[in-house]
Amino acid sequence: MIEDFFSPLISEFQITYRYKVHFTKDIFQIDNPVLRNFFISEKKQGLVKKVMVVLDERLIQYHPNLVSDIKNYFQDLETFLQLTGDIIQIPGGEECKNNQELWEFLVNAVNTNGVDRHSYFLVIGGGAILDLVGYVAAVSHRGIRLVRIPTTVLSQNDSGVGVKNSINYQGKKNFLGTFAPPVAVFNDLRFLESLDDRDWRSGMAEAVKVALIKDKDFFHWIESNASALLNRNLNTMANLIHRCAELHMDHISNGDPFEFGSSRPLDFGHWSAHKLEYLTQFSLRHGEAVAIGMALDTVYSYQKDFLSKDDCIRILSLLKTLGFSIYHPMLSDGEKRNLYLGLEEFREHLGGQLTIVLLAEIGKSLEVHEMDLKTIDTSVNFLETYL
């Protein structure tokens, strides 16, 4: 019947994603079974899978035996795993997400080495290189299995354990990207020891963020352990990373992991941070920009009478105690027009409706759908003169 042609057909299905975040030390030492056990659990009879390894070239400065350690580690797995030629070393940092030639180089490597959907990308580095390689993995053959080994505080407690990946494009941060969960994540404490002080500190911003919006007790713990964290106590940092990663993963599994809505609670402080990174030509680390963004939205929350003065001062004090600057001159650049443009770009990135996460109290967030430019202005001025 012709009438049947005009009847809509409905398809509805669900996909379950599951991946583990492992915590270890010296992952490529022969006697460390953590990574080996993962690949054995993925083994399929009669199938030899390929592994393309990509790492941040700067790691070799601090871990000169890393390439040989990786090759030696995989020798015991050659019956069902095959490394694809030389281990690929590329520059990390935010610049790698701006480099289209680097993206094309990695896609060509997938093609040249015959990497298929049963194969793996094993990426070792900070958040930017994880984003880049994750994007290549997600769009090549519509999805190559991704194994992440984050090497910074920021990537171990935040981006490395999440489901997003991206590159920068058209002058906008994370303009191109996908939601593509990894098959496994391995946080190796050894890599943290080689971080400079800025990168060590930078990752703590995301821990403060998630504590502010989700866990008051965790905020108190960070306050109590601020000195140990600042003085690079590895055990204290390990505890911070584990709790922060746990809170992020809980949000992903129980919230809106693919961001179909306009609410992004984990982006507290990020609308201005993303713009600041571009305005400073990425001289600011992501965590440093987030710290300034959190300070701005904290003061805004206070000036709009959402947040108490005591809580506002505690938050700013913790950020300063951890070594963060809470103001940058680019916040005021162009009579703050560039900052206001960042708000519009963030609205566009969300998909239409502006949704900004602010604070009602430490450990409790609220959402607003508009921001008062006059109050933003006075909040910036507050930070500029705050001692």
Question: For residue 361, what is the domain's CATH number?
Answer: 1.20.1090.10
pTM comes to 0.89
Report the 10 Å Cβ neighbour count for 174.
Answer: 16
pLDDT for residue 350: 66
Q: Are residues 213 and 175 in the same domain?
A: no
Q: Are residues 124 and 224 in the same domain?
A: no
pLDDT for residue 352: 66
Domain boundary among 143, 165, 194: 194
Q: Please name the residue that has the structure tokens 């990574």.
A: 35
* Range in 38-47, 106-115, 168-177 the model is least confident about: 168-177
Residues 19-46: tens digit of each pLDDT: 999 999 999 999 999 999 999 999 988 8
Any domain includes 15: no
Kind of pairing, strands 120-125 and 49-56? parallel
Task: Inform me whether the pLDDT recorded for 160 exceeds 60.
Answer: yes
Across the chain, mean pLDDT equals 92
CA-based nearest residue to 322, from 238, 225, 250: 225
**CATH number for the domain that contains residue 80:** 3.40.50.1970
Do 131 and 97 meet the contact criterion of CB atoms below 8 Å apart?
yes
Range of the domain at 285: 204-385
Any domain includes 9: no
Any domain includes 231: yes
Q: Are residues 47 and 132 in the same domain?
A: yes
Q: Are residues 188 and 209 in the same domain?
A: no
Alpha helices in 186-307 (DSSP H): 197-202, 204-214, 216-224, 226-230, 234-254, 270-279, 286-303
Residues making up the chain, counted from first to last:
387
Residues 295-344: tens digit of each pLDDT: 999 999 999 999 999 999 999 999 999 999 999 999 998 888 888 888 88
Any domain includes 7: no
CA-based nearest residue to 145, from 261, 42, 229, 59: 42
Q: How far apart are CA 229 and CA 236, in angstroms?
A: 6
Phi, psi of 244 (to 5 degrees): -65, -45
Any domain includes 42: yes
Q: Are residues 209 and 159 in the same domain?
A: no
Q: How far apart are CA 316 and CA 193, in angstroms?
A: 27
Domain boundary among 176, 194, 212: 194
Do 354 and 370 meet the contact criterion of CB atoms below 8 Å apart?
yes
DSSP 191: G
Radius of gyration of the chain (CA): 22
Domain boundary among 194, 221, 238: 194
